[in-house]
Each structure stands twice: as C-alpha cells, then as structure tokens.
Amino acid sequence: MIMNDIPVLFSPAFDNCDGISHGFFGRGGGVSEGRYKSLNTGWGSDDKRAHIFENRRRVANALGCETNNLLSAHQHHSIDVITATNIWDMGESPKADAIVTNIAGIACSALAADCAPVLFADPVARVIGAAHAGWRGALGGVTDATIDAMLALGATRENIHAAIGPCIGAKHFEVGPEFVAQFVAERTDTAKLFTKGQGDRSYFDIKTYLARKLLRAGVRITQALPDCTYAQHDHYFSYRHNAHNGISDYGRNISAIILDES
C-alpha cells in the first residue's frame, strides 16, 4: 500500500486496534542515494544526515506525528527495554532494543536490515511497543521483556496483539552449528525450525521461532508478514545481501507504531 507517497505494509494483527496506527516501511519513498536508496532511516549508517532526517520526517508524517516524536533506540542486540515517557533528541537515543509507551503521539520504532522488527499493541489499555529482535535478542527474550514492560504500564497479555515484520527468511538465514546448539539447548523442539544446508551449515526460520515465543508468552493474536529482506533486497535493506556482494555498510528499514492523538 502507498501512504503519503511511501510504500508501507500493514499487519492484519492490528485490524481491530482502533486509535492505533502502524507501518512496516522498506526502501521506497525516500531521498537517500546509492547503497542507501532511498528510505534509509538508520542513524547508524554512513548516509548523509540530512537524508536520514528527511526520510524519518516522511515516515513520521505518514504516521501522523512530528519528526521528533518518531523515537528510535541505540540498538545493541540486547533484551533492554526503554519506557518512553517523553521524547529524546535523535542524537541521544538510549541504548535498548525495544521501546514501549502509553503516551499518545509518541511513535515507537524498531530499525532492522534482516533482523526481525516486532510491533505490539494493547488497544484496551492503550499501550504499544516496538522491538528489534536479532537472533541474540530473540533467544535472550527481547519480546518477553517488551511484554513485561507493557504489563507494567497496564497492558494485559490476553489483550496484546503482535506482528512480526519483514526480516530474513528461512531460505536465506544461514547459520553454523554453534548457533543451532544454543537454540536447541533452550528448547529441543526448536530443532524443527532448522533445515540442512551445505556442510555443517543450516537455515533458520526465525519468524516461526518468534511467533511461537509470543504465543507461549500469552499473546493470542500474533502474525508474521511473509516478506524476506534478503530475497527482496530491492524492496528492503539487507545486511547479509550487501555483505555477500561486497557492499560495505547498509541502510535500515523502519517499523513503527503510535497511539493516535484524539
């Protein structure tokens, strides 16, 4: 779908969440050039600052908020969650891999370029969240930590909706045996989410892993969008695709959710 001239995906998981807007944004609709073309929103890239700011302005406009209200954290593959009670300067983002809030007009976002963005909403308590789930965060429990932070704001597990956005798909997420061992040690049934690759390599289905984790956490409405950032690298930024093709640095896709102001 096109929203304010920007291609965006919506999840059916939030269809009945009145007063809440969200979007999973890819590469299209921005002003960046070259390897960052075009909607790069990641301050951690070497893209021009002015381009990143304009891209974030466009995303914020599509969500119906001010640019400064589109909050991102300094992600570091942790399970740390920040509760946003006010906005922070774009250059002073706190270190965390998830943001939650119950304040209307503040957009919680997650940046990714193969890792999984996960958006959350409790439409009854009006609490939202966004998490960045790389494999370390996923295994460590960043989604569980996000849910716990939402509960602290009044959300209830049975009312939380969650959507897993575009990330690297099961046919392209190649991992080594030490990776498999860590996940199987957590739960033996996770072995079924690995398929055999060449030599000692395997391919991992992180979307199904996260969906199962959310369901075990009591999230009844959970949905994963089918898009693969690696396979659809023309539409999404993909760290692995760039690395496999000798392209240094990469842009970031942004996924965000906001409580609409009445």
Tell me the DSSP string of 94-122: PB-SEEEE--TTPEEEEEESSSEEEEEEE
In the predicted model, is pLDDT for residue 224 greater than 80?
yes
**Domain boundaries, position 105:** 2-168+226-257
What is the pLDDT, as a whole number, of residue 261?
85
Q: What is the DSSP code (8-state) at residue 74?
A: B
Cβ contact 241:249 at 8 Å:
no
Residues 6+ apart with CB under 8 A from 207: 116, 164, 167, 169, 170, 224
Q: Is the pLDDT of residue 188 over 80?
A: yes
CB 118 within 8 A of CB 100: no
CATH number at residue 101: 3.60.140.10
pLDDT at 246: 97
Q: What is the pLDDT of residues 57-104, one digit of tens each?
A: 999 999 999 999 999 999 999 999 999 999 998 778 999 999 999 999
Query: At CA 217, angle to CA 226 and CA 135, rounded to 5?
Result: 55
Q: What is the pLDDT of residue 89?
A: 85
Instruction: State residue 4's pLDDT score.
Output: 75
Within-domain flag for 50: yes
Into how many domains does the chain fold? 1
In a domain, 159, yes or no: yes
The one-letter amino acid at 241 = H
Element (H, E) at 66: none
Residue 211 belongs to a domain: no
- Indicate if the pLDDT at residue 209 is higher than 70: yes
In a domain, 30, yes or no: yes
Residue 200: both structure tokens together: 């000692």
How does pLDDT run across 144-168, given as a tens digit for each residue? 999 999 999 999 999 999 999 999 9
In a domain, 164, yes or no: yes
262 pLDDT more than 70:
no
